[in-house]
């Protein structure tokens, strides 16, 4: 598995396992299976209600894994962040997180207060990297004013939502982009262009989406509840999209979001 070097010096596997909507026994089985077939990066969040199951699945294998979790947007006051992290560590049965993200921006809490708590967790060794999620360029500018290193921004990113300006801003500021819903939640995989390019390389449309991200230096966390598709989604390192393919896929952008809850703040 190929790694992306974070600005902190830590390495994060390019492909991780998304676990939103994987719950209970199924979640435990899929995470265990994913680790068996080579996934080393697992993405969860306190809100997914699956951390205890993931804790069971990673037992005895923690050291070789990169685990990301996220603090919910209603828990961004100083003490709440510390408590949320403590609860997450307890559920995952681990001493530390590789990456801890502010799940959604919430401008009713000063970003300085939240970041101060994240820094405390970092200094105490409970988390190895601080990141954010669903942050726009303006949210990032506010966060960067604190001078605390933000290593990643996890955002929706796929051929129908090619966030070029955000990507450029992140690159310039040493912030890795992690693509969530990298397959457009499964909704874009019948696209004619993706299917044609996939055929040309003897791959699938899902693999083309993930390879397109990889070639842009973007990590991705596809979710699957099928072992076959789990295998498919990490099997993207043996082919290459040529410039023409990349240009065509870039041109598919429609600024479509498949994840846009009422509390999102994308207009900021
Ligand atoms: N930070 C945030 O706010 C945020 C928001 C959304 C998601 N996320 C994270 O990102 C992860 C991934 O995003 P997502 O779950 O929204 O969407 P996704 O990974 O883009 O797509 C998942 C969907 O695609 C299907 N699928 C997976 N692999 C496939 C393949 N090779 N061929 C065909 N279909 C395939 C899955 O079905 P099967 O399960 O049947 O395979 C599922 O329906 C989440 O699980 C979560 O960890 C974070």
Enclosing domain of residue 73: 3-183+218-224
- Measured distance CA(267)–CA(13) in Å, rounded: 31
pLDDT digit string, tens, across residues 58-84 = 999 999 999 999 999 999 999 999 999
- Residues with CB under 6 Å of ligand 1 are 18-20, 43, 103, 133-134, 154, 180-186, 189, 204, 206, 221-226, 229, 232-233, 259
Those residues with Cβ within 8 angstroms of residue 156's Cβ, 6 or more apart along the chain or in another chain = 134, 163, 179, 180, 181, 257, 258, 259
Task: Collect all residues with Cβ–Cβ distance below 8 Å to 227 and sequence separation of at least 6.
Answer: 30, 33, 37
Q: Which of 42, 43, 163, 181 to mutate to test the pocket of ligand 1 (most atoms within 8 A of CB)?
A: 181
What's the mean pLDDT in 189-193? Answer: 98
Question: Is 247 among the domain residues?
Answer: no
CA distances from 152 to 28, 47, 69, 238 (A): 26, 19, 12, 26
Which structure tokens are listed for 87?
A: 């609860």
Q: Is the pTM value of this prediction over 0.95?
A: yes
pLDDT in tens, 12-21: 999 999 999 9
The whole-angstrom separation of Cα 173 and Cα 180 is 20
| pLDDT at position 186 | 98
Tell whether 105 is covered by a domain: yes
**pLDDT at 233 > cutoff 90:** yes
pLDDT of residue 239: 98
Which CATH number covers residue 82? 3.20.20.100
Q: Would residue 203 count as lying in a domain?
A: no
Q: Quote the number of domains for the chain.
A: 1
Q: Is residue 37 part of a domain?
A: yes
Does residue 157 fall inside a structural domain? yes
> pLDDT value at position 9?
98
């Amino acid at each position: 598995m190929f790694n992306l070097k974070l600005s902190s010096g830590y390495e994060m596997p390019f492909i991780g396992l998304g676990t939103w909507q994987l719950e209970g026994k199924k979640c435990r089985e899929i995470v265990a299976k994913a680790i068996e077939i080579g996934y080393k990066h697992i993405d969860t969040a306190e809100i997914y209600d699956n951390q205890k199951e993931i804790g069971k699945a990673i037992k005895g294998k923690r050291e070789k894994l990169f685990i990301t979790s996220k603090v919910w947007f209603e828990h961004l006051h100083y003490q709440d962040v510390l408590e949320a992290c403590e609860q997450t560590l307890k559920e995952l049965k681990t001493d530390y997180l590789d990456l801890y993200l502010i799940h959604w921006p919430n401008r009713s809490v000063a970003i300085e207060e939240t970041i101060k708590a994240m820094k405390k967790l970092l200094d105490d060794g409970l988390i190895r990297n601080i990141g954010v999620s669903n942050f726009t360029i303006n949210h990032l500018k506010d966060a960067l004013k604190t001078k605390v290193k933000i290593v990643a921004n996890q955002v929706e990113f796929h051929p129908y939502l090619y966030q070029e300006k955000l990507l450029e801003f992140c690159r310039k500021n040493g912030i890795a982009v992690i693509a969530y819903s990298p397959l457009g939640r499964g909704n874009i995989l019948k696209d004619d262009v993706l299917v044609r390019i996939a055929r040309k390389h003897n791959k699938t449309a899902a693999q083309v989406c993930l390879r397109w991200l990889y070639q842009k230096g973007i990590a991705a966390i596809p979710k699957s509840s099928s072992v076959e598709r789990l295998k498919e989604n990490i099997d993207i390192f043996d082919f290459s999209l040529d410039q023409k393919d990349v240009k065509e896929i870039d041109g598919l952008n429609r600024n479509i979001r498949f994840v846009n809850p009422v509390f999102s703040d994308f207009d900021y």
